[in-house]
Chain A
Amino acid sequence: MKDIAPGLETLEYVFPGERPAGDFAPVLAGVVGSGNLEVLVEPAPGSDCSIRIETSARGFGGIWEAVVRDFHARHPLAGVRVSINDMGATPAVVSLRLDQAVSELTP
């Protein structure tokens, strides 16, 4: 617990996309709750994949970067904005939720 300071931390990552996601209805996966997170995937102009994280667990930027980098390696989407509201989910849950969200993208 001592590692977790109060207040939200915001992290942003941008990756150059490879696979255009096209136009699709925004997808929401998960719920904001203790140990859980909410992932919103929306179409965005341009060819990047931008990921914005708001998390209640501060100080884990290095792990977030590795998690979203691996996510982008699995799904090199282009033209996508991913918004994450996290309440202390483990990396395993984050990865699972991201994969669930992407699997629901239907042009």
Chain B
Amino acid sequence: MSLKGNLQDFTLTQLLNLINLSHKTGNLVLERSNEVASLYFMEGKLAYVQVGNEDNSLVGVLHKTHMLSPSQYSGIKKHINGMSDKELGLLLVNANYFSQQDILISLQNYCIDILNRLFNWLEGFFQFETDVTPPRDKIIVRIDLENIILEGTRRMQEWEFLQDEIPSLDVAINFVDRPGANVRNLSLTKQEWKVINYVHPRNTLRQISRVTRLNELEIRRIVYGLLQAGIVELIRPSDSSSQDRPSIPSIASMTGREREERKSLLSRIIDRIRAL
């Protein structure tokens, strides 16, 4: 039996709830734009995950979960020669590098981390095939879904909250006139930094999200944080043209009039800087 649908109509949290309550065994495939995630469940518990071409081999997971250093990772990779995850796991346990518990906890943390990332997939398609089991050579975990569903629910609530706070992405942001006194010690993430760079009254949040490749939840979360920190404010876009990448034209490509305007701006800046 196969279940198919759209993640907008039936969310991942609802799917997990269904799988959990009916103790299903099978493979859930999620797809959005160019990404695919495959999740295996056994009797209502999460057993194994694979996202795109991510290295989810045992050695890859041990590296990602900080159990192996980069040099240990590359050293083991060179020597495993087609060994399956189960064989490698046994070898590592027998050689006293890790306990069985260490390996299982690493794999569980990796699976939970993937699922938490998948909660950001608000659009896309799903298909659940019953009675499909994980690849035989992989180490299977058994993760109860209750806590994961709770986390998913929290994220859905966050999504609803952010939608209330920032109902539309067709607004722009601008730096506030007097940022709060705490900005000196502000820490920005890579993603926040990227958004900051596009802060301009002409750029709508939709344009910024497209350029920075952030989904609707991510852009709202970042902008909400910047709003709370007093760095930016929401404003009506000064020019809602459909340009994708806001930019100043290069001097060589400017028309005569644009050059005159630029000169005028430069003269104003020069006067101001001289007066500083």
Partners in one complex: no
